[in-house]
Each structure stands twice: as C-alpha cells, then as structure tokens.
Structure 1
Amino acid sequence: MGTVHGNYKEGFSLDNQNTGDYKKVSITLHYRRHDGDYSGWNLWVWLEGQNGRMVEFVEKSSYGRTATFTMEDSTGINRVGFIIRKSTEQNDWASKRFDDRFITSFDDNAHAEVWLVQGIEKIYYHKKEVDVTPSIISATLEKWHEIEVKTNLAFDWEHDNITVNLEGASIKEIHVSKDHDSSRLAHQLTIKTKEKLTLQADYRVAISHFGTCDVTYGSIVRTKQFNDEFAYNGTLGAIYTNERTLFRVWSPDAQKATLALYSNAEVKELSLYPMEKGPNGTWSYDFNGDTHEMVYMFRVKIGKDWHEAVDPYAKAVTVNGEKGVVVDLLKTNPAKWTLSKPPFQSIEDAIIYELHVRDASIDPNSGITHKGKFLGLTETNTMTSDGFKTGIDHIVDLGVTHVQLLPINDYWTVDETKSESSQYNWGYDPQHFNAPEGSYSTDPFHPRSRIIELKKLIQTLHDRGIRVIMDVVYNHVYNVAHSNFHQLAPGYYFRYTKDGLLSNGTGVGSDTASERYMMRKFIVDSLVYWATEYNIDGFRFDLMGIHDIDTMNTARQALDEVDPSIIMLGEGWNLLTPLAEEKKANQLNADKMPRIAHFNDSIRDHLKGNNFFDQDRGFINGRDGYNVQIKQGISAGMKVHYDRQRFITPNQVVNYVEAHDNHTLWDKLTLTNPGASIEDVKLMHKLATSIVLLSQGIPFLHAGQEFMRTKNGDHNSYQSPDSINMMNWDRKAEFAQEVEYVKGLIALRKFSEAFRMKSRQTIEGSMHFFPTDEYLIAYQLLVHSDVEAYSEYVVIHNAHQHPVLFNLNSVGPWNVLVNGYKAGIEPLSIIKRNRVEVPRLSTLVLTKK
C-alpha cells in the first residue's frame, strides 16, 4: 500500500516505524475537539479488502475522547484505515472529517497509539507533538476580493476581543461563519478586501491570540487567470544524466520546497536540499553526480504545513510506490530491445483482445511458470496438461492484432510485499501513472525489475506480431487527499461542484480536471512517455467522457508525432461532471475528435440485453424490436445512422459484447435464458461474437470469450479471487470447436476488406441491407481491392429458434465461408441455387467472386 503523506513541520525527521505484518493489532485512538462536543462522533474502521465497522469513543480524558479496538486478519496487517464521522438517528454518515486515513506504525507488541485533533488531518504518533495552542490553520485566497481564514480553536467573535490584520491589502469588511452547533462560536472568517488581490503579491493574516499565517491559494486555483499565470511547458520530474540530475516539480502554492534524497528505499537517513524557485510555479534542484537508483521525495511548505509527495512524474518507485526512484532508463532495456513494431496499416484493421496480466497465467493448469507476472506472457510453448496452447501462443494462434492490457501502471490496492498472496484487483485505482505495477514483477523491491520485465512482455508480443494497447486511468485518483497532485497543488488538479465538493462523475470519489493546463500537460506527457519509452501501440481511456475534447485532441496530435498508427480508444460515456456538454469527450461529440474511437455500448446492450439489468434480453437471446439498433452497430453508424452518437468514420466505433466488467456473455446468457440447453447457449454466444467480428469498425474481444469464459455469475469481479477471474484454460479443451470458430471469423475479417471498410462513403456505397423480420438481419457487401479484385458477400444473422429460408439476390455458385459451426476463408460448401437455409441461432456468410 502507498505511504500516507501527512502534513509535516519544517525540519522534521521520520520516526523509525515498525510496519511489519501482524495477524492482530490493537489501537488506542485519542480525539480532541475544540468545541468539546462529542455527541454522535465515532470511528469507522476497516482493513484492506474487508468490510468496515463502527467503533465508539467511550473513554473521557483531559485530552478529549478515546477509543480502543483491535483488528484481525490472517493474511497480515500493515495498516488500518479509519474515518472520523458524525452519526445521527437519520444518517450514520451525517458528516465526516477528512477522507480515508491510515494508521501505519505499530510497536513490537502490535499496538499503535495515536492522537487526532479537530480540523487537523495529520495523525500524531506521540502526544508531545500535538500542539493545541490557538493558531491559524490556513488563510486561503478564494476569490479576487476574499481571503478565507480557519483557526484550530473556536472563538467568540462578539466577546473574545478578536482583532484581524492583513498585510499587503486593505480590509473592507469581515464576515464570520458561525459553527453549525453553536450560535456564537466560530472557526472560520472571511476577509473582504477593498482592492483586487493578485497572484504575485505576498499576503499575511494576523489574528489576536492566534498569531499569523501566510495566505496561500484556495479555490482561486480553479480560475482561468491562475491557469494561465502558472502554465509551465517545460520538462518536470527527475531529468537524469550520468553526470547530473535536474529535479523539477510544479507547486505554485509552495513558499518553500525541499528535495529529500535517500541512499536506498530501506535506509531512513536522508539528505535535504533546498530547491530554487523558478518560473510559473516550479521549483528545482540541480544535483551533481550519478543518481541512478537513488530514492527521492519532494517536500513543499504551503501555509503553515509541510507536505511530502512522490514526484508525479516518477518513472520508478519503491515497493508499494512509497517513494520515487531515479533510474537510468538505458539500464532497463532487456536484451534485443527494439523500437520496431509489427506492421499495421489502418485502425480499422485492428482486432483487440482485452487481457488482465494476472488472469492470463494464474490458472494452475496454464503450464506457465511465472504465474500472474509480466514474464508469464513472455513464455512460449506453454500448454495445458491436455496439450492445448496457453498464454501468448494461444493469443498468437487466435489471430488478433492487438492485446489490450488492463492497467499496468502502479496502483494502490494490492500489497506488493505479498507477491504470492491471492490479492487481486483490476487496477483502476491509480497511484503512480508513469511507473509499472510492482505486483506483476518478480521482484517488486527492486525498482528496475518491473520496468525490465514489462518491456520484455511488450518486446515478446511485438516479436510475435501483436501490438500492445495500454489501459490508462487518468480520470480519477484513488485518494485525493493523499495523492501527490493534491499534496503539491491543493485543489488544482480536480473538479469541484459549486458547493466546493469534489465532483464525482466517475462514481469513485473524484474527477480530474483535464481542461486545466497542468493536468492536460500531465496526461499528454505521460502518454508520450509510455509511447516512446515502452513502445506502446495504443491507449484505452477509462471513463474517457470525464475528459475534455481539447485534451483528447492534443493527445492525438502528440501521439501522431510519435507514431500515427497508435490507436486511441475509450469509454465515451456522457458523465455528470461540471464540464460544459459541448466540451465532454463522449460519443455525442465524437465528430469533434477524429481518429479517437469509442466503445459502442449500443450494440453491446442490444445484442445481449442491458448490462445493468440481469434479466434484460437482446437480439440474440429472444427479444424483438432491436433490428435497427443492430444494423446501426453492424454498419458502425455509417449506413444506418445513430440518432445522437456523432461517429464520422468507422474507425471511431469499437464493437463488443463483453469486457472485463459486468457479466461475461456466457453468464449473461445463462441468466436471461435459464431453461436453455448448453448447446443453445453456445449458439447464441457464437452468434453474438460473429456479429461483432463481422461488423464495420473495430472489433473487441474479452480474453477467454473465444472459449465462452465464465466468472460464475460475478458481475463486478474487480477484487474477486483468482478462482473467479482467471482464464480457465481447461475450458479451451471443453470448447475447442468454438475456439476454432472464432479463429476462422478472425481470419475472414483479416482476409477481406469487406469487413473493415475505411470510410462512411465506402460503407454507404458497398453495404445493402435486405428487408427481413425482427429476428433476422441480412446484408450484402461489395468489395473491390488489389487482394480480392471484385467480390460480393452476403451475411445473414438468424436469431430465430428455428432455421430460416432466405432468398439470395442472384443464383450461385455461392461459397459458404461461415455456417453455424465453422468459419474461415476456405469454402465449407457450395450453393448453386438462389435460396439458402440459415440454421437457427447462427450466422451464415456466403461469397461470390
């Protein structure tokens, strides 16, 4: 797990902490409220991967209130999460103080004693550190004529003889915000100034009895003026050479900044170097000497507190991402590392295979040695005990062009120190965006290992003719308060509602603000880094609809300068985030984002039924009324247009029927058709997959879809065990005929341009749908190319529970390439008449040259 970055005083030193794993820990937590009112306040405590529980404050003391509790976990404990909250009869979560916090230091008896203070986020491990004398917690510039001031102790504005002074500007009036639970006490006041405040001036607030505090930036960081004033276009991070390293960080709020260097991850001794203030909110330090594999952190003083953060641009990190590491990237290139790529002409030629690194090899019968690791996908000649190919050999044999890897950058919720444990996560909880995930490495304690082994994976796939797409999650962070973004520039990198709360269009607690210059710069810099250093061939954007159009187009332009064949695709959902509708990077604005593809949830839901309603059915499993919607998907919206989606070319449409999230297709079909035989479920499954693989646009397969993958009904397996998530390679033997069927469909798609046309005009002129009933879709494709000369194809999808006779538009001979059981580029049979029988729940493809 990642380090909790607290607020530290200048010149602090880290205590020796015992963070070893315990089966059982005890905790004594002291809480002090300045107002003395503890009614309804309690703790919510939890361990990673477990349900939380409430703990009451039951003991009184001169300090305040105390809670004592224990936590147990047979797999080991190295931190305990908690939230201080206020509960009422109507709502257990009526209020809370700060987001998730974690107790990480225990003594030799597995005990931790901590002290907390109202209004202060820091966790104190020694009572002597706690300072409860009156002081100003913060003074922040919120508007151009307003400074908001918060104090640690409550005051009575009317009776405490309080005076307020402001250096650098003139006070017009003062507004005091009374506490909700008191008619007189307050912890906050707002200073309104006569003149407009500026970003360049230094202001200081003084309050009698409470001392002084420098004014820092508040919500003003989310204004256009701030964005323009502090936009920095240079290189950030640790800029390494053998002779020197330039460390540069962006922290416009900071009054001071310090570089902390460690000799290695385990040694607590460190050297501190004051950083020099540079242009546009930057701080830098030029270190002479070779810093390869030196551990480093940034510390910035904002207002009265010191914040410690890992470099957002860190290219390597220590175990669990606790610290950044300088690395000579030339020493991370494996043998035979090359920037050459498999040949690839057009985006429409892509066939994408979505894969989780651990899922691919963790099955005990995978025949793979490095189970759950990057290296597992580098092993060749692997097979099950029955002799069926597994791993990379299987993927190559299948014929896909691109493997899309679920997040491989460093993420929070898998403890890398427990490399052999059964922990699992999809990885959509990003911690460090530019460093690989350590749990996929054979040695997460060595910063270079994860980089070298990921590069080996990419090189191996390239050598075998497969390109690599990386799943990227720039739309949110796992924990805002403890993110390096927030530690270095509080309030800037995220979107907020009008009420000052974090926007939550992602549904996971935060939305990043891609429209702000430095967030956009970070996203683009990160993409270019992965594309150049790791030779990545494409990027899949998680919840792309959170981002703005300009950011996506800027990324497209930057990646084109690296390699125009790099694919960009994402979830273009229309999400509720405070961004103007016309700026959202979603399907409704696809026409403003050329060569950026969107997952087509319309064909997904109309094929099998809505993803979010278990019993809802679609075209393949017994529901009528979806004929037009399936035709829209088959033509990528080019021939049969969508009403709202604004796709302008087929390469903007990714057709799919299942992915890592929600039910697998097999599980959805068994839910919606509980009385169906196994054979019928197979037929429906193949029908859906054939529609996806033969449609215009870009086809997308979920790993294992070819052997009808099941997760035993688990629709949200993001942290379920391997037994649910792993690719069960024994199913390949069980569904061998279905695997061959999918291989044949892929081969046919790759052979003929009829199934991957490049423009709206070509599709409109070359595709013709025949009149049919609701459960039948039939269309003609005409193609003229250097490979095929002139060819005609007829594709018929029959969702009836019975065979259908279909009249062709001309007599034969017609070559049958796909029937209910086989598929490929070689004729399965020849039909000489102009009438054909289409088996039930099947696809038929015929061609005539």
Structure 2
Amino acid sequence: MTHRGFRKSVFIALSLFLLMGSLFFTLPVQTVALEEETVDVIVHYWRFGGDYDGWNLWAWAEGKDGQAFSFTEEDAYGKVARFQISGLRAGDRIGLLPRRSTPDNDWAEKDYIDRYISKWDEANGQVEVWILQGEETVYYSEDEVDRSPRIVEASMDDWDTLTLRTNQPIDWRGVEDRITLSDGFGIQSIESPNPDQEKTNRIIIHTDRQMDISQPPRLTLEGYGEKTVTAGKVVRTDAFDERYAYNGKLGPLFSKKKTDFRLWAPTARKAQLVVYDYWDDENGKAIDMKPGKRGTWHASLPGNRHGLIYTYRVQIGDDWNEAVDPYAKGVTVNGDKGVVLDMKRTNPKRWKPKKKPKFAEPTDAIIYELHVRDLSIHPESGIKRKGTFLGVTEKGTRGPGGVKTGLDHIKDLGVTHVQFLPIYDYATVDETRLDEPQYNWGYDPKNYNAPEGSYATNPYNPVTRIRELKQMVQTLHNEDLRVVMDVVYNHVYDAEASHFHQLVPGYYFRYNEDGTLANGSGVGNDTASERAMMRKFIVESVSFWAKEYNLDGFRFDLMGIHDVDTMNEVRKALDQIDPSIVIIGEGWDLNTPLSPERKANQKNAKKMERIAHFNDHIRDGLKGSVFDEADSGFVNGKPGMEQEIQRGITGGIDYSEELSTFAESPNQTVTYVEAHDNHTLWDKLELTQPDASKEERIQMHKLATSVVLTSQGISFLHAGQEFMRTKYGDENSYKSPDEINRLDWERRAAFDNEVRYAKGLIQLRQAKPQFRLSDPDEIRKRLTFLNAPENTVAYSLAGQKRQKTLVVVHNANADAVKVTLPSKGSWNVLVNGYKAGTKPLDVVKGNTVTVDPRSTWVLEAK
C-alpha cells in the first residue's frame, strides 16, 4: 500500500486506439467522471483561558493532503475559522486538528487528537461545527457543548502514577488538597508536565501504593466532579504484558453440547456476554461473565449454539463499551455482531482441507493480484454471478470475440497463484445496499476472521459468505491454482471505534509521546504488533485462515509497520501447517514508533528468512518513481538505469559489491512493475511518454513485463497487466467506480497479441529452471552479465545437467543494438519483440545478435 488515500481527482476523456492484429481502429470517446464535492466549513474553537496566540487549524479531506487555516474571527464562543474543503467523495470525512505554530516550527504543539466532520448539508455544501480544547468530539450545535468544569480523564500511566486531565485549566500548585482518591489511596506527590506554567489542564499524580487495573479507585477534584480511574499508558508497558498476557484460546469455543466464550479484557471492571435474536436487534440479553486468569473473562452456554448472535460488553471506568468479539469467525450483515458457528457446517461439498496444488520453491511462484469484484463486474465478462466469490468459480465464460474471461483466462495465462485483495470483512461497503454500485479495495479492516459479505450471494447469512469463499478456494485448487490472501493487520479502519480499542482501550495501537495515535500507515493508526496480545492475535488469525480456508499464501500490507519477531512467529506457525505457504509483504521503512532494528522492513530482511519483500527498486527502476508522475525509468527513456535493473534481475541479493539491495535469498524478493496501488504501467507510460506512438508504448510495456518474468525472485503480475490495463489516470482507485477498476474484457480482446506474449513468457519461465533459482550461490555462479550498449542489459544463465545456456537481452533503446554472445554457435530465439514461448522462433548463428528496439530477446544454445 503506497500512500493509499492520497489520490487525485480525475476527469478524463480518452480516445482508445486499440491494436487487433495489424489493424488499428478507434473506439468512441469514453468519459469517466469521479464525482467530488466542495464544502464550505465554519469551525468554532474554544480554548481554556483564551490563549489563542499562534493557534491555527489544520484541515483536510480524508485521505488527502492537509492545509493550514487561520482563525480570522471571534465570537462569544471563541475563535472562528472559515474555509472550503474540496475533493470530497462519497463516504469521506473532513479532518480537523488545532495546532500552535511558531516562527521556526509550524507544529510546535497539537491539540490532543484528530477530529472528524462526518456529515454536512449536502444540498448546500455547508457545515458549521464547534470544537473544544482537549476533546475529540465534534459538535454540530453550540447547545450540545458542555463547558462547565469537569474531569475529562483520569488514567493510569503506571501502577502508582496517573494523569488527571480537566476541560479547564487549574492552578496545579496546591491542588493536592482538592483531590481525593477512594479506597484509602493517598497522594505521594503531584507534578505538571509544564512546571513553568501556572495553570494546566493536565496533572500527574503519584499514589502511595500500586493500583489494581481492573478495580481502580475513583478520583474527586473539588469543583470538577469525580471520575473512575481508567487504564492509560500502563497498558503499553512491558510490565503489563508480563502480568496479563494470556496464552490460552480466546473467542467462542464451539461444541454441539455447549459453547464457551473467553474474552481478554484486563482493564474491564465488569464484562458481559450479550446475546441477540436477530442481526438488527438493538437490545440483547446480557449475561455476566466471570473473571479468570490474567485478565480473561468467561461464560458458557449449554446446547448447540450454532447461529447464536452475540457481542461483548465491558465496563471501562464509568462507561460501558460494546464490541464484536475480535476472534469471531462469523458475523452478521455489515459485521456489527458476532455469530457462533459450527465451522464444519460451512464446508462445501467435497471439501478436502489438505488438498492443494503441488508447489516446491517460492521462486516457482507467479502471483496474479486480483480484486474479487474486478474480475467479473464488466458487462461483457460472460460471468453471471458478478462481483462475488462464486463469480470467480465460473468456468467456460467468454467475452468479446470469444476470448476466455474470468477463471478460464487466469488458468490459460499459466500463473501459479491468485492473490486476492482483502477478502476479510471490511468496513466501507454497506452490505445492506448491494443493489447500489459500491466499491472499495478493502484496506479498511473491521472483522479480521470473517469473510467480506459484499462478495457473498447473501451477506445476511454468516454461513453463506464462508461457504462461498471456501468454494472459490476449492475451485481454484481444482484448477491447479494456489490462493494468496492480502491481510491488513497494520491498521484498522477506525481505531477509536474498533473492537480492539473498545475492549482494551489504548493497548492494541501505537501512540506518540504526546498521546496521539501513531500514523506510519498513513491512514490514522498503527497496530502494535510488538505487544503480546496483538502478536498473538495476528499469528492466530493467519493460522486460522491457513487451516480453515486451506490458503496457500499471505501478502502483508505495510509489513514494515510490524516487528521482526511477529513476522518470524507467523512464519513459524505457518511452517507447522504447511511449509509451502508463501509470505510476501510491503517492507517499506515507515515512520512508526518502533526502534529501527525491530521493524519488519527491507533493511531487516536478512533477519526474516523465507519472508519476501516487494522490490520497489526494480519497480521504479523500470518505469520511474511512483511518487513522481513525470519520472521515467529504464523502459520509458531514462538513461543510466542499467545497474538498477541488474540488481533486480539478480533477485535483490548480494550478487556483488556493486549489485545488492536487501535480500539474502531470491525467495525474499517479489519482482514486479505494477500493482493495485499507484498508476498502472500503461497509465505511467502515457504520463511519461505522451508523444510516443501507441505501438511504442506497447513495446515499452512488454519490455517491462518481460524483465519481471525473466528475473530471479518471486514473479508478480497485476491482473490485466497482460492486456495493458488502464485506470484512466486514477492512481489511487481504492473507492473509484467499477468503470475505473474493472477488468475490461473488451480491452482483453483488443490486445490479444500482447496476452499471448505474456502467456509465452510465463510458459518459458516455468519451463526453464534457470529463471527460478532458489540458492543465491547458484545465482552468483550461473548468472553472468555481458557487455552491452547503453540502455541495454544483457546476461547469460549457465545450464546444469541437461539444461542449456540461456542469454537474455533487454534493449530499452529506440534503435536496435548488437550484443556479443558468450560463444559462437547456433542459438534458438525463444523470445523477441513480438512473440515468446518455449518453441524456437528463429536461429541466430555466430557470436553476435541484433536485438530490436524496446524489446527483450531470449536465446538458448542449441
């Protein structure tokens, strides 16, 4: 995931000139409009004591870059800012964050946490809100605001330390006489985070003995009321994990005779199991849970409880929170409640959980990245159950000109693995409105252990979504295709509203020193995989999917947010299930509060055996930086990129002193040029080569794909890459319409020659083990780079046993080049600029070969 949510508005009219054989023809102009809205915003801001010097407002459309706005007016409430926010699309929110700026630091101070405006007058495009210092609530009426003195929070920082936060400042010197703690607790000392300030709304209190985190005292402050102390920073200490980390099973433990419910919530004063008759019931029957070991709670219900709808309710301080069980395997529509399931009743006919296609080395994988809905939703897909798991299972489907579509197309292409964008239950598609067009990639997790309902034929039935997902996996396995699941444990859709935070506030996420949520993910929060119970959840969740759904691989979104130890624990757990399961991930170095040596990123790849990282070096080396639209790479005209391409060809290993990136072994490198994120390769070529002919861009595109499929490492293709997939310039289509995201089967028919070319490259890769070496020593021994002209990379791959030497030449020049071969003799041409495969296309004799412009040639010694 690269800057998901930072997207540009697109309104593009395109004339598509498509190649079919040698005939060019023009399709009608296609106009794609992504509807966006501009909202006039008025924000009233109140600060304690009227200290507004240097304060301004940072505001943004959700997922877009922010902007500073000044407070230009004053009224009886406080300061007022008026501004416009543009680029809002359906479901977006407007973010607000008051900040204090100084001449040398725009971000000298932040006021608490991000606030969000989630509704406005759509007819007039207007909204007026009121916010307060230190509170995240956004009020839509001044009458709702309570500014009377009160305690906002009293939270434990350590076992004998708490922070008192008030909504109005107080003179902290001498305040000790106004504070009372229940249960006989005394105050040892009081301090202020800013001792030079006479008044503050934050006071640190040291108690005379340790507090019980589940039965804490109540704090009374004269003139400000009282509040039960809740767990704060203490939950993020090593000591907390040492006391409360639990190794046993959690969630609903089903048997036909009874179901046991086990919840981990050590900061709760009380806990309840709440059962419901229907998915939309607002009130359920509450059953008190009994406290158990290490912060757990349990309850048991007799009888066969298959289909029982339930949630958990916990008392945190003075408040009750209700949440879905994070370990729930089944959920109601939209994932708002958990469901107890007999998982055996979710299996489709002839389900064989241990049956899967044979597979040896990770470097044998050719992964095809796909969104469930994209495959079938096009009107010419020939697929009946469009947008669903079952749509993926349909065989014999045909599109324009009789071309194979859907599963038949994937099977015919010859890839080994199909990787699905998130198929767990995610937040942003309303499963009760599936008759309306809705789209999302799914990188907004809600329930990690249950499938997404919008891909099921009946999202109201928790069994249906599970059974149909299993049918999809089963069908792909029967077609000799393995299945990779895209998992997003690095963040949740909404941290404050998440089941994790509701049940154990403050534990599952990382926080900055100022108490704000860490945001290395770029979407508002980072999960804390280094904490015992978050690590336990991730490892057990991945293991559950691997076992229950018979999956063959996992792609970790923003893996660099996680820690090395957690990823190694995942690898260890999966090895016990099936060592052939692949793990790949985005090993970017992200700005999250975790020490550099612990981050599961490329820099620490050598600490994580048999875990692969996407190789952004070769991705950007081939086509140009994904962060700079104008930047080009090897295939689209940027000179001096030969060495970067050589690094990618060797699988990112320490091939030599000059050629190395991050990998210790080729099975740690995913070689690719495009994915669901950022511009497709075709769109990038249009941006960087606007004056090139269509035929020239086709050759550049094929050249890039050929580099991917002939390089060492794990090969990765974005669905539709084989027929020049376009998203009409939309670089971040995570919630764009189907018209932007769908696989265009008309385009597939028009680019039939290019599909055949990609298919031939795949056949060649699978036929020649030299392209799939798993031992780095073998790569260093057998791969030799040859002298080549500028903007050309050439190398040989020595054969072993009955294998023959291969020579690969990638020519990115606009003219043909001549390359000297390793030896004289006869060489079969297996790949040229137009065709690819395992059968000879031509014979070259002698010790030189002339390679066409912008093309790859592969030769094999006769």
Please classify the TM superposition score into its range, dividing by the shorter chain length: 0.7 to 0.9
Identify the residue that residue 306 of structure 1 maps to in structure 2: 320
Q: 1:818 aligns with which of 826, 831, 840?
A: 831
Whether 2:745 is the aligned partner of 1:729: answer: yes
Q: What is the deviation of 1:257?
A: 0.7
Q: 2:532 aligns with which of 512, 517, 534?
A: 517
Identify the residue that residue 261 of structure 1 maps to in structure 2: 275
Q: Which amino acid aligns with 1:563?
A: D
Distance change (3 Å), C-alpha of 1:564 and 1:159: closer
Whether 2:480 is the aligned partner of 1:465: answer: yes
Identify the residue that residue 484 of structure 1 maps to in structure 2: 499
Q: What is the deviation of 1:369?
A: 1.1
Does the 8 A contact of 2:611 with 2:668 survive in 1?
Answer: yes
Whether 2:602 is the aligned partner of 1:587: answer: yes
Whether 2:248 is the aligned partner of 1:237: answer: no
Does the 8 A contact of 2:56 with 2:68 survive in 1?
Answer: no
Does the 8 A contact of 1:30 with 1:64 survive in 2?
Answer: no
Q: Give me the identity figure in percent.
A: 50
For residues 711 and 582 of structure 1, the distance between their equivalents in structure 2, rounded to whole angstroms, comes to: 38
Q: What is the deviation of 1:583?
A: 1.1
Q: What is the deviation of 1:225?
A: 0.9
Q: 1:685 aligns with which of 689, 701, 712?
A: 701
Distance change (3 Å), C-alpha of 1:499 and 1:128: closer
Identify the residue that residue 522 of structure 2 maps to in structure 1: 507
Distance change (3 Å), C-alpha of 1:135 and 1:290: farther
Distance change (3 Å), C-alpha of 1:30 and 1:290: farther
Whether 2:738 is the aligned partner of 1:714: answer: no
User: Unaligned 5+ residue runs, structure 2?
Assistant: 1-41, 122-126
Distance change (3 Å), C-alpha of 1:124 and 1:575: closer
Q: Which amino acid aligns with 2:447?
A: H
Q: What is the deviation of 1:491?
A: 1.4
Q: What is the deviation of 1:126?
A: 13
Identify the residue that residue 829 of structure 1 maps to in structure 2: 842
Distance change (3 Å), C-alpha of 1:36 and 1:286: farther
For residues 132 and 833 of structure 1, the distance between their equivalents in structure 2, rounded to whole angstroms, comes to: 88
Does the 8 A contact of 1:411 with 1:427 survive in 2?
Answer: yes
Q: 1:798 aligns with which of 807, 811, 815?
A: 811
Does the 8 A contact of 2:166 with 2:201 survive in 1?
Answer: yes
Distance change (3 Å), C-alpha of 1:348 and 1:641: farther
Q: Secondary structure at the match of 2:154?
A: strand
Q: Which amino acid aligns with 2:849?
A: V
Matches within 5 A, 1:412-561: 412-561=427-576
Q: What is the deviation of 1:498?
A: 2.2
Q: What is the deviation of 1:499?
A: 2.4
Q: Which amino acid aligns with 2:327?
A: Y
For residues 500 and 704 of structure 2, the distance between their equivalents in structure 1, rounded to whole angstroms, comes to: 43
Does the 8 A contact of 1:168 with 1:201 survive in 2?
Answer: no
Distance change (3 Å), C-alpha of 1:247 and 1:135: farther
Q: What is the deviation of 1:682?
A: 0.9
Q: Secondary structure at the match of 1:395?
A: helix
1:509-534 alpha-carbon deviations (Å, 9 max, x no partner):
11111111111111001100100111
Tell me the TM-score normalised to structure 2 length.
0.85
Does the 8 A contact of 1:115 with 1:125 survive in 2?
Answer: yes
Whether 2:217 is the aligned partner of 1:217: answer: no
**Alignment coverage as a number of residue pairs:** 813
Distance change (3 Å), C-alpha of 1:809 and 1:492: same
For residues 703 and 542 of structure 1, the distance between their equivalents in structure 2, rounded to whole angstroms, comes to: 18
Q: What is the deviation of 1:321?
A: 1.6
Q: What is the deviation of 1:261?
A: 0.6
Q: What is the deviation of 1:235?
A: 1.0
Does the 8 A contact of 2:458 with 2:464 survive in 1?
Answer: yes
For residues 317 and 123 of structure 1, the distance between their equivalents in structure 2, rounded to whole angstroms, comes to: 30
Q: What is the deviation of 1:145?
A: 4.3
Tell me the TM-score normalised to structure 1 length.
0.86
Q: 1:750 aligns with which of 766, 791, 804?
A: 766
Distance change (3 Å), C-alpha of 1:571 and 1:241: same
Q: 1:675 aligns with which of 680, 691, 713?
A: 691
Deviates more, 1:410-419 or 1:254-263: 410-419
Identify the residue that residue 363 of structure 1 maps to in structure 2: 378
Q: Which amino acid aligns with 1:252?
A: P
User: Unaligned 5+ residue runs, structure 1?
Assistant: 1-28, 107-111
CA RMSD of aligned residues (A): 4.1
Whether 2:293 is the aligned partner of 1:293: answer: no
Identify the residue that residue 154 of structure 2 maps to in structure 1: 139
Q: Secondary structure at the match of 1:147?
A: strand
Q: 2:260 aligns with which of 226, 246, 267?
A: 246
Identify the residue that residue 425 of structure 2 maps to in structure 1: 410
Does the 8 A contact of 1:663 with 1:713 survive in 2?
Answer: yes
Distance change (3 Å), C-alpha of 1:375 and 1:545: same
Q: Which amino acid aligns with 2:778?
A: T
Deviates more, 1:559-568 or 1:290-299: 290-299
Distance change (3 Å), C-alpha of 1:463 and 1:80: closer
For residues 374 and 445 of structure 1, the distance between their equivalents in structure 2, rounded to whole angstroms, comes to: 15
Identify the residue that residue 584 of structure 2 maps to in structure 1: 569
Q: What is the deviation of 1:101?
A: 6.1
Does the 8 A contact of 1:375 with 1:453 survive in 2?
Answer: yes
Q: What is the deviation of 1:810?
A: 2.3
For residues 252 and 144 of structure 2, the distance between their equivalents in structure 1, rounded to whole angstroms, comes to: 33
For residues 119 and 311 of structure 2, the distance between their equivalents in structure 1, rounded to whole angstroms, comes to: 19
Distance change (3 Å), C-alpha of 1:504 and 1:129: closer
Distance change (3 Å), C-alpha of 1:294 and 1:83: farther
Q: Which amino acid aligns with 1:498?
A: E
For residues 144 and 433 of structure 1, the distance between their equivalents in structure 2, rounded to whole angstroms, comes to: 32
Deviates more, 1:208-217 or 1:250-259: 208-217
Distance change (3 Å), C-alpha of 1:486 and 1:597: same
Matches within 5 A, 1:45-444: 99=114, 136-151=151-166, 163-166=178-181, 167=183, 169-175=185-191, 187-194=201-208, 202-210=216-224, 212-339=226-353, 340-444=355-459
Q: What is the deviation of 1:197?
A: 5.9
